[in-house]
Amino acid sequence: MLRFDQHKLFRFAALQSPVGRALLVRCGRQPDDISTIVLAFADRALIKSEAVLSIGALLRGPLGVFSLLAALALLFPLRLRDAVYDTVAGNRYSVFGRTTYCRLSDAKHTERFLA
What is the C-alpha separation between 54 and 108, in angstroms, rounded?
25
Length of the chain: 115
| pLDDT tens track for 70-88 | 999 999 999 999 999 999 9
Q: What is the pTM of this model?
A: 0.82
Q: For residues 70 and 57, is the Cβ–Cβ distance under 8 A? A: yes
- pLDDT 10s digits, 32-64: 988 889 998 888 889 999 999 999 888 876 767
d(CA 36, CA 92): 12
- Check residue 48 and give its pLDDT: 94
Burial environment of residue 8 by CB neighbours within 10 A (0 to 12, 13 to 18, 19 or more): exposed
